[in-house]
Chain A
Amino acid sequence: MLSANPAIEISYDYFEVALSLLIAVSACYVALDLAQRVTAAHGRARIVWLTGGAVALGVGIWSMHFTAMLALHLAVPMAYHWPTVLVSLLIGILSSSFALFVASRKKMGPADALSGSVIMGVGIAGLHYSGMAAMRLAAAIRYNTVLVGVSIVLAIAFSVAALLLAFDLREETRATVPRKFGGALVMGAAISAMHYTGMAAVTFVRSTASPNLSHAVSISSVGTAGIAVVTLIILGQTMFVSSMDRRSALQTLELAREQAKTELARLSRIGTMTHLTASIAHEINQPITAVVTSISAALRWQATQPPNLDEAREAMVRGMEQANRVSEVIGGIRTLLKKASPELRPIDINVVIQDAVALADNELLTSAVTVQTELVADVPAVLGDRIQLQQVMLNLIMNAIDAMSMITDRQRELLIKSAKNPDGLLIQVQDSGKGLDVENVDRIFEPFFTTKPQGIGMGLWISRLIVEGYGGRLWANPRDPHGAVFQIILPKADNVA
């Protein structure tokens, strides 16, 4: 090496190096954030997000490059050929838009990922080296080809990582802030590594020829700070807009979900109503037939010569009983419809169970049923209507009492348990009653199905409707050696959308 043309001493301003790193990380964070927005958006909104995202990311990488360049202190004055600088910015924006486009598509196969990474990597390297080419100074720039190659490979490797991360984190559920921040840190570090490897490939050799300073501008430290601040502001604003959009998108999603739920509930209620109407037509008809027939019979007994008033009276009593049965059925339906829009609150199911047991206390006592509760103290809260859940528990308790009313050869025992369950919580109501007929196990939840002489077959049906309304399940199994187990699974409060 000629001593007349020695390499220029270089040094770095570490504050500005740190600043360049900060910009790189911020830009990458914004990029990850925007990949989500681009993915979620459609039509024109998608183009706007893609463009905005590409500009933010492009400006970010570009700004990182120039901040890093200004961290470089040379013993000769430096200026930049601004048209080339603009070209480098354009390259940055174009490669960023391409990368965002690839990462936001529905699918990203290995070929997509690879070609996307190569184009993005070459773009970043292009930005870097065109930025270098914009330098105007009284020195010759020499490149170490091996290190240049390494920097390009690093740029492509960085792009692979960036695309995979962006693709992976674009789903709302996967993209937590710490995850995105971690991803941005890795990407920012990679981008910086690429830059400083590129810089290590450079040797500045003092030259006597004065630089061509046409279209060249010099950038002071104040200018650097300006670039950095403006960039950070752009990135910050992009993030802000993105988060606002996400919030409104989430609200829209929430709204749509709510509407879908209401619609679903309405449809299922209509479905139930159709079913119900057919059942009512038949089941109200039964007691009405009995009423009409009994009263006719009473009139006939009363009209005989001499009138048979005992028979007439008996027939009328039967008629009245059946008229009451009609009103019970209607009452049940009214209760059901009234409870169509319950008030949902986090509920401690143990309290509900204890309340229901307390309400049934008198019945339990007169029916000689012993109650035992095994309630797990820290069961998760469920979202529900306290009165409705109480109704369900009370229904199950009353059922158990009825099922045990004919039992004389063994203890009448009622056991109520609450427990945690992977889906939320599990409630069990066990009795030692007459058990379940295999053929009736599914029918007991049908409207108007009953095995009790005085039952109208509404209780279990309504209970199941309520439980299913909360996204839960209610079913029954025979219990060994006798009796039945009614089981409820309810989703815990934070699982309910």
Chain B
Amino acid sequence: MNESQSTVFVVDDDAAVREALRDLIDSVGLRVELFGSAGEFLQRKLPHLPSCLILDVRLPGKSGFDLQRELAEANISIPIIFITGHGDIPMSVRAMKAGAVEFLAKPFRDQDLLDVIQLALERDRATRQREAEIAALRDCFESLTPREREVLPWVVSGLLNKQIADAIGTSEATVKVHRSQLMRKMGAKSLADLVRMADKMGVPVPKQQP
């Protein structure tokens, strides 16, 4: 894991708080970028690297919650750590429900923030890895012929070639060819492997014939 590749974004309207956060995050060797408002942050094109966002709730113009909602709407899944000077329970519930990693009241303990940053980066790393895997599987899936894509769910549901041939109205030999082709294209080593892949991609599994 290359720590310096991970970036912590900070959005807070108070310059002193921003600078202090830079000091702290710098001291543990993470990259940090500072923004004074939600608008400034939205102009930054986010890198394809693990990152997280430390976000003040009270901001001039768009609030922290507004920014959280806009990011969700734009399908940007950066983990968010809220910080606020006057937070209350309803506010923190709202933030957590909308998917925030943590909601910290100012002033916070440095270790608490650093722990949460690690957690958030870990979560983002995992998310990115999962997304990368799914994207790769999708690419493989795209390379299948229409007939192979039709056969795949039946294979995954555990039917024998003969049963599949009956279900889709073709010969057992043809199904056997499709099966070996799609196993190869998907890079599946076993039926269990293929089932796991289908699950990851969310391929619908047809009901098994009686």
Contact = CB atoms under 8 A, between A and B. Distances in A.
A453 B16 contact: no
A311 B107 contact: no
A285 B20 contact: no
Given A285-B86, A287-B16, A297 B27 contact: yes
A287 B106 CA distance: 10
Interface residues of B, number: 22
Interface in B17-53: 17, 19-21, 23-24, 26-28
Contacts of B109: 296
Contacts of A292: 20, 107-108, 110
A290 B109 CA distance: 11
Interface string B107-143: 1111001000000000000000000000000000000
B191 interface: no
Interface of A: 278, 281-283, 285-294, 296-298, 300-301, 304, 311, 314-315, 318-319, 321-322, 325, 453
Contact of B106 (A289, A296, A301): A289
20 contacts: A288-B106, A289-B106, A290-B14, A291-B107, A292-B20, A292-B110, A293-B20, A293-B24, A294-B20, A294-B24, A297-B23, A297-B26, A297-B110, A300-B110, A311-B27, A315-B20, A315-B27, A318-B19, A318-B20, A318-B23
Contacts of B86: 278, 281-282, 285
Contacts of B28: 300
The CB with the most chain A CB atoms within 10 A, among B15, B28, B110, is that of: B110
B187 interface: no
Say whether chain A's binding surface is mostly helix, strand, loop, or mixed. Answer: helix
A297 B86 CA distance: 23
Q: Which one of A278, A296, A301 has the highest number of Cβ atoms from chain B below 10 Å of its Cβ? A: A296
Contact of B107 (A281, A288, A315, A453): A288
A282 B83 CA distance: 12
Nearest to A296: B110
Scoring B16, B19, B106, B113 by chain A CB atoms within 10 A of each residue's CB, the highest score goes to B16
A94 B20 CA distance: 88
A457 to B, nearest CB: 12
B23 A286 contact: no
B85 A281 contact: yes
B85 to A, nearest CB: 4
Contacts of B113: 293
Contacts of B110: 292-293, 296-297, 300
Contacts, number: 82
Contact of A290 (B16, B26, B58): B16
A166 B17 CA distance: 71
A453 B15 CA distance: 9
A285 B58 contact: no
B17 A286 contact: yes
Contacts of B14: 286, 290
Tell me which of B14, B24, B109 has the highest count of chain A C-beta atoms within 10 A of its own C-beta.
Answer: B24
Given A278-B86, A300-B28, A289 B107 contact: yes
Given A290-B16, A293-B107, A296-B110, A285 B85 contact: yes
Interface string B150-172: 00000000000000000000000
B17 A290 contact: yes
Given A288-B106, A296-B24, 12 more contacts: A291-B107, A293-B17, A293-B20, A293-B21, A294-B24, A296-B110, A297-B23, A297-B26, A304-B27, A318-B19, A322-B16, A453-B15
Interface in B91-119: 106-110, 113
B204 to A, nearest CB: 50
B26 A311 contact: yes
Contacts of A297: 20, 23-24, 26-27, 110
A138 B74 CA distance: 120
Contacts of A283: 85
Contact of B85 (A286, A304, A319): A286
A446 to B, nearest CB: 12
B132 to A, nearest CB: 33
A277 to B, nearest CB: 10
B17 A314 contact: no
Nearest to B110: A296
Nearest to B19: A318
